[in-house]
Amino acid sequence: MAKVNNNILVYPDPRLRKKAELVDEVNDDIRETLDQMLDIMYKAPGIGLAGPQVNVHKRVVVIDVSEEKDTPLYLINPQILSSSGSEVTEEGCLSVPGISEKVKRAAEVKVRTLNYYGKEIEFDADGLLAVCIQHELDHLDGHLFIDRLSSLKRGRAKKKLEKQTN
Ligand code: GNR
Ligand code: NI
């Protein structure tokens, strides 16, 4: 019913800084939102998309890190229960266009989430999936990957972003 805005919000849009709210019921409305977010993510193209990026301030995320783009993952009210190790990965963000920087995050995460059908599930993730989950959960709390850079690198990134933004 409610159509998700096709435009992905871009830094420094203050709406990217709003904390997303818990989903209280996984119904057809939420599933429609997730379907639309997946479309937008594939078209972008990206490997993940969080609600706030499309002005949906609910704790919803879609991810597909598969090569064939045939393994969508839907996360509703996701939580990281525990994490271990650390890994540095070059990250980009659809909301921070033109910037890519190395970010240090946990290498493995244990996740508890509701799935597409509202069932609570738990799973472990590593590699790019673990990185993407952490990146998307940051969006739900209004955080961007550039917030995690050293102040020197963040300063440079912001300067580059300001030059791009007209
Ligand atoms: O498409 C995306 N690629 C990506 C690469 C490395 C680490 C994280 C990501 S997520 C990003 C899409 C996005 O902005 N999701 O919020
Ligand atoms: Ni992002």
CATH number for position 143: 3.90.45.10
Split into its structural domains, the chain has a count of: 1
Q: What ligand is nearest to the CA atom of residue 49?
A: 1
For ligand 1, atom 5, name the residue with the nearest CA: 91
pLDDT at 1: 63
pTM for the whole structure:
0.97
The answer to whether residue 113 is domain-embedded is: yes
In whole angstroms, give the CA distance from residue 67 to residue 56: 27
Q: Is residue 3 part of a domain?
A: no
Question: Is 2 a domain residue?
Answer: no
- Say if 82 falls within a structural domain: yes
pLDDT in tens, 124-150: 999 999 999 999 999 999 999 999 999
H helices within 1-142, ranges in order? 28-43, 127-140
Q: pLDDT tens digits for 51-60?
A: 999 999 999 9
Q: 135 CB less than 6 Å from ligand 1?
A: yes
Which range, of 109-118, 121-130, 157-166, averages the lowest pLDDT?
Answer: 157-166
Q: Would you say residue 136 lies in a domain? A: yes
Residue 9 lies in a domain: no
The band of 11, judged by pLDDT with boundaries at 50, 70 and 90, is very high
pLDDT at 166 over 60: no
- Domain encompassing residue 79: 14-165
Cα(95) to centroid(ligand 2), Å: 6
Q: Is the CB of 138 under 6 A from ligand 1?
A: no
Compute how many other C-beta atoms are within 10 angstroms of the C-beta atom of residue 86. 10
How many whole angstroms separate alpha carbon 149 and alpha carbon 108?
Answer: 20
pLDDT confidence bin for 5, thresholds 50/70/90 = confident
The pLDDT of residue 13 is 97
> Does the Cβ of 146 fall within 6 Å of ligand 1?
no
Question: Is 5 inside a domain boundary?
Answer: no
d(CA 57, CA 10): 15
Whether the predicted pLDDT of 45 surpasses 80:
yes
pLDDT tier at 97, thresholds 50, 70, 90: very high
| 84 falls within a domain | yes
Q: How far is the CA of 24 from the centre of ligand 1 (A)?
A: 26
Is residue 154 scored above 60 in pLDDT?
yes
Told to judge if 136 belongs to the known catalytic residues of this protein, a careful annotator would answer yes
pLDDT (mean) for 91-113: 98
Task: With a cut of 80, say whether residue 2 has pLDDT above it.
Answer: no
Please choose, from the candidates 26, 23, 75, the residue with its C-alpha nearest in 3D space to the C-alpha of residue 48. Answer: 75
Q: Judge whether residue 165 has pLDDT over 80.
A: no
Query: Mean of the pLDDT values across residues 12-31?
Result: 98
